[in-house]
């Protein structure tokens, strides 16, 4: 197959390009050339999608499939106009769902209002999710039988967010480790390599439909026990963390993977069953932890989010003083 990957030089899109090349496909990556190196064995061409598609994008043989991860409606419109006849796999997000308390998936979960114009996606979750809704509709309207996948939290080696890396870095820790919220709070993660492999399979098999691209939901207590098998997890109350100014989800003063409850009960609890039935294969969380730690050790510049060890120790002391 000849596969066009729009991107190909960062995290998920790079993993898709690498997997497609590994399977022997002819892979072309179109990007601005500003966000990292493409994997070996693929062809690259420069395209800033704020501009019309270059002639070299379509001068050669036709593409059998396109994989796009864009969050910008105008970029998706230009790509659809340039390559209208291929099978499309569009990577969206669970942030398209309007109600974070509800884990309902495609066809059931209520979506955010579509934002058809290009706006700053960092302005709010509404902006990011709303533009992704618009991008989904553009693809589904233009390409009969297209696939749309809505990932939750993508993790693994190369993760630029540093969210899961926070826990992978601690994987050999002993002693007390602060665990946020309640051990039965449900979370889910998906390894970037598993998601990339499935996306290539969707392209190969010309699978259509809308799927939540997620790992199996499991209690955060189980997930952290897999990530930190030698540590003693000290569970610290949601209200205490909020009162102490700890940020959820990501960032320098956050505890990654932690989300306030019940406001986010549904965000990391979607049903992985339909995606698994469509060919998604998931590796154990312990394997993702091991490989992510290996990547961190091999790349000292790798980003790790979350609070410092000193901040964690202070929080544990404060929590201990409140709990007999």
Is the Cβ–Cβ distance between 229 and 236 less than 8 Å?
no
Rounded Cα distance, 20 and 40, in Å: 11
Q: Tens of pLDDT along 266-320? A: 999 999 999 999 999 999 999 999 999 999 999 988 888 899 999 999 999 999 9
- Write the CB contacts of 63 (distance below 8 Å, at least 6 apart in sequence): 2, 3, 4, 28, 83, 86
Q: What is the CA radius of gyration of the chain?
A: 20
Residue 51 is encoded by which pair of tokens?
A: 């501009």
Beta bridge pairs of residue 225:
none
- φ/ψ of 319, rounded to 5, equals -65, -40
CA 7, 9, 10, 12 torsion-angle sign? positive
Structural contact between residues 248 and 254, judged by C-beta atoms closer than 8 angstroms: yes
The rounded distance, in Å, linking the Cα atoms of 28 and 57 is 9
Say what the pLDDT of residue 33 is.
85
Q: Check: CB of residue 229 under 8 Å from CB of residue 289.
A: no
* Residues 79-92: tens digit of each pLDDT: 999 999 999 999 99
Give the pLDDT of residue 120.
86
- Provide the pLDDT confidence category of residue 148 given band limits of 50, 70 and 90: very high
For the cut 80, the answer to whether the pLDDT of residue 101 exceeds it is: yes
Q: 10 Å Cβ neighbour count for 128?
A: 20
Terminal Cα-to-Cα distance of the chain (whole angstroms): 63
**Residue 5 bridge partners (DSSP):** 29, 67
C-alpha angle 62/67/68, rounded to 5°? Answer: 120
CA neighbor of 207 nearest in space, from 93, 88, 81, 83:
88
pLDDT at 75 exceeding the cut of 90: yes
Residue 114 confidence (pLDDT)? 97
Domain with CATH 3.40.50.720 in the chain: 2-151
CA distance 148 to 93: 9
Cα–Cα distance between 324 and 322 in angstroms, integer?
Answer: 7
List, for residues 161-199, the tens digit of each pLDDT value.
888 999 999 999 999 999 999 999 999 999 999 999 999
pLDDT digits (tens, 9 = 90+) for 216-235: 999 999 999 999 999 999 99
> What pTM value is reported for the model?
0.96
* Euclidean distance between CA atoms 213 and 198, whole angstroms: 9
Sign of CA dihedral 74, 75, 78, 81: negative
- Tell the burial category of 204 from Cβ atoms under 10 Å away from its Cβ (0-12, 13-18, 19+): middle
Compute the distance between CA of residue 281 and CA of residue 213 in angstroms, rounded to an integer: 11
Mean pLDDT of 241-245: 96
**CATH of segment(s) 2-151:** 3.40.50.720
* Tokens matching residue 77: 């419109």
Q: How many CB atoms lie within 10 A of CB 60?
A: 12
Kindly report the number of other CB atoms within 10 A of residue 171's CB atom.
18
Sign of the alpha-carbon dihedral angle for 32, 128, 85, 15: positive
């Amino acid at each position: 197959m000849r596969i066009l990957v729009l991107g190909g030089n960062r995290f998920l899109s790079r993993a898709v390009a690498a997997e497609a090349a590994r399977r022997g496909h002819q892979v072309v990556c179109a990007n601005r050339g500003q966000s990292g190196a493409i994997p070996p064995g693929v062809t690259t061409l420069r395209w800033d999608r704020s501009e019309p598609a270059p002639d070299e994008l379509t001068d050669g043989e036709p593409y059998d499939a396109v994989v796009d991860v864009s969050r910008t409606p105008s970029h998706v419109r230009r790509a659809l106009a340039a390559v209208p006849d291929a099978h499309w796999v569009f990577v969206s997000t669970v942030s398209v769902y309007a109600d974070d308390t509800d884990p309902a998936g495609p066809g059931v979960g209520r979506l955010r209002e579509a934002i058809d114009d290009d706006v700053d996606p960092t302005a709010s979750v509404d902006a990011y999710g709303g533009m992704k809704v618009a991008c989904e509709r553009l693809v589904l309207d233009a390409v009969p039988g297209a696939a749309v996948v809505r990932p939750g939290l993508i993790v693994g080696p190369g993760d630029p967010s540093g969210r899961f890396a926070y826990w992978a870095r601690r994987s050999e820790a002993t002693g007390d480790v602060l665990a946020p919220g309640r051990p039965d709070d449900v979370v889910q993660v998906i390894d970037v390599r598993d998601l990339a492999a499935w996306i290539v399979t969707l392209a190969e098999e010309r699978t259509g439909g809308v799927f939540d691209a997620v790992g199996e939901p499991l209690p955060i207590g189980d997930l952290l026990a897999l990530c930190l098998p030698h540590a003693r997890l000290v569970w610290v109350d949601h209200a205490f963390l909020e009162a102490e100014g700890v940020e959820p989800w990501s960032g320098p003063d956050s505890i990654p993977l932690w989300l306030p409850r019940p406001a986010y009960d549904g965000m990391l609890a979607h049903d992985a069953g339909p995606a698994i039935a469509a060919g998604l294969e998931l590796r154990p969380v312990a394997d993702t932890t091991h490989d992510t730690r290996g990547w961190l050790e091999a790349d000292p510049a790798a980003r790790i989010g979350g609070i410092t060890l000193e901040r964690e120790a202070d929080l544990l002391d404060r929590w201990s003083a409140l709990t007999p």
